[in-house]
A and B are shown apart, each in its own frame.
Chain A
């Protein structure tokens, strides 16, 4: 039976992805901080999909513990999803470096630490897949979330290089770039509904892309075209736009 590791399993997108992969027959390691809160979800997955599901404690910021964490997984996962993320408060982050660092570490440093470990194992076994949840925010920095955006830009670049490096080993890497999403992380923010994905819809897009062998997936799909436009706005104009 195939196993999947979900890092950031408490996030809305992580939870929905775990459910869809369970429906595909994957047994699950749900990893997050305070993993005791995942007990109910594990039981749901067991009853609903008839798969194994266990919660594992993982703090994405405790880099030192990551190798031991992966070591403890037996059997080793056949795929990993990294859905950990922290939006943070950009205004605060510009004044207080601790907030900036937390945003960067949760969205970039931590994911790189854990995925490096998974990638090394997958490379050795010459199989497996890695799905990294990045963001359209990483495509071009804007004033309202430049710290978060820069961390996601770094993560996107990391995933792209990792794909390049693992391609010959038969290990797949998928970069996911969600646009607006209606999750706990964005609660209270007002997004235009037509541009906003529900986590269950985004998860469905991602699984479809995984099945079709895609490398990069935007969700909602419309964001692919929005970002083409945004990327091509000349800097002279872009710097003056207020968003």
Chain B
């Protein structure tokens, strides 16, 4: 039977549980509660008042400490569909609904998520709080663009409806606001029509950074684009990459009698943590060389199902354990278009010389940014995984400086370690966000380890 990898936590003494998000770093002990109704949640907020900070948490797929606090309220038991309007594709659901549930339900009926990140094991509430983006950001924007409205429980327990029209300020602070404005109870999101569950995928190789950036520019009319980039190789000027671009396939392209159905997927599970020493400069270089060599030269077209195109890593449950028990940091930043070429080259050189590369370096062209403190801005974003070691943090500090110097910023949903100065420099709306927080939550009911670290 189909199993959804719901994030489980191990209870420890005194009602506290060991909690960590996807990066397994940091690990904390916290009180975990779950609510099935707004009334229950209101009681929890009142109960926590003055004792500890509260933060909402979905499936724990942010990487760092965004959804960690003294008291964590899980939305996973608040996961019902509320209504669906066939004519407009508008789905109202509670915040704990997972994207996988939406896909399982609506793809066979000819609907798809307007924006999806690289995993379907996240909740709608989490997608809004992180304002996630996908392979179509350059064309379609981030998740929040398709949120028609949402219901939010404020620190006072009051439930407020907000949208771009009503309580707009609150809406824009909540999209990308990391759960700090309140707990998202439900949302109405707009799905998009699809004719098939398949994607026509084209891959193209690039020998260096300049080539891949040119490929991205040329692929602007494609709905989806993303690139794998070798962050260790210094052949050429460094940055050899493979671009994946895609379009929803037509029924003719998809073939078969029921193009909205995809074959059941066989997942494998990584049942335990691998020793951290498995990943080193040598193994990563070998993997990257093999991966690049295996891609066909020139452009290659294939019809793949949406699972394979959007969620390749969801096929390996608990892939995060590959980085060992100490966990890992996913370092994701964005640089504005104008400075991206120079900045990316410099950052890649820095990483390559450190020798701490990752299998999963991803490059993506983003479109214009929205909302108060959402991550995206027009430019290039790169995401890299690093196993946690002592050497890592000084390297990341140096990378922070470069990112800021080139006018970029780091993604809060991936962050577990940046300093307040880096945040302030990258997010010009930070003061406004702080002011709004102060007004909405004067007693400081909501807060996370991250918000405490960043002073927001």
B81 contacts A47, C-beta separation under 8 Å: yes
Q: How many chain B residues have a CB neighbour from A under 8 Å?
A: 11
A40 contacts B101, C-beta separation under 8 Å: no
A48 to B109, CA, bound (A): 11
A43 to B105, CA, bound (A): 14
Q: How far is the CB of A25 from chain B (nearest CB, A)?
A: 14
Contact with B along A191-223 (1 / 0, CB 8 A): 001000000100010011000000000000000
B1 contacts A204, C-beta separation under 8 Å: yes
Interface residues on A, range: 10 to 19
- Give the contacting residue for A43; candidates B6, B10, B81; CB below 8 A: B81
| Chain B residues, Cβ within 8 Å of A239 | none
A81 to B389, CA, bound (A): 53
Contact residues of A: prevailing secondary structure = helix
Residues of A within 8 A of B (CB): 40-41, 43-44, 47-49, 190, 193, 200, 204, 207-208
B1 contacts A47, C-beta separation under 8 Å: no
Within 8 A of A (CB), among B71-121: 80-84, 101, 105
Q: How far is the CB of B176 from chain A (nearest CB, A)?
A: 28
Is B11 on the interface with A (CB-CB < 8 A)?
yes
Residues of B within 8 A of A (CB): 1, 6, 10-11, 80-84, 101, 105
Known contacts being A193-B10, A193-B11, is A44 close to B1, with CB within 8 Å?
A: no
- Give the contacting residue for B81; candidates A48, A200, A208; CB below 8 A: A48
Known contacts being A40-B80, A41-B80, is A48 close to B1, with CB within 8 Å?
A: no
A43 contacts B82, C-beta separation under 8 Å: yes
| Chain A residues, Cβ within 8 Å of B10 | 193
Contact residues of B: prevailing secondary structure = strand
B80 contacts A44, C-beta separation under 8 Å: yes
Closest 3 CB pairs of A and B: A44-B80, A47-B81, A44-B81
| Chain B residues, Cβ within 8 Å of A43 | 80-83
| Chain B residues, Cβ within 8 Å of A44 | 80-82
A190 to B11, CA, bound (A): 9
Known contacts being A48-B101, A193-B10, is A208 close to B83, with CB within 8 Å?
A: no
| Chain B residues, Cβ within 8 Å of A49 | 105
- Indicate the member of B10, B81, B83, B84 with the most A CB atoms within 10 Å: B81
| Chain A residues, Cβ within 8 Å of B6 | 200
Known contacts being A193-B10, A193-B11, is A48 close to B105, with CB within 8 Å?
A: yes
A47 to B92, CA, bound (A): 10
B11 contacts A47, C-beta separation under 8 Å: no
Q: List 21 A-B contacts (CB under 8 A).
A: A40-B80, A40-B82, A41-B80, A43-B80, A43-B81, A44-B80, A44-B81, A44-B82, A47-B81, A47-B83, A47-B84, A47-B105, A48-B101, A48-B105, A49-B105, A190-B11, A193-B10, A193-B11, A204-B1, A207-B1, A208-B1
Determine the residue in chain A with the shortest Cβ distance to B91: A47
A193 to B84, CA, bound (A): 37
| Chain B residues, Cβ within 8 Å of A207 | 1
Determine the residue in chain B with the shortest Cβ distance to A188: B15
| Chain A residues, Cβ within 8 Å of B101 | 48
A204 to B10, CA, bound (A): 21
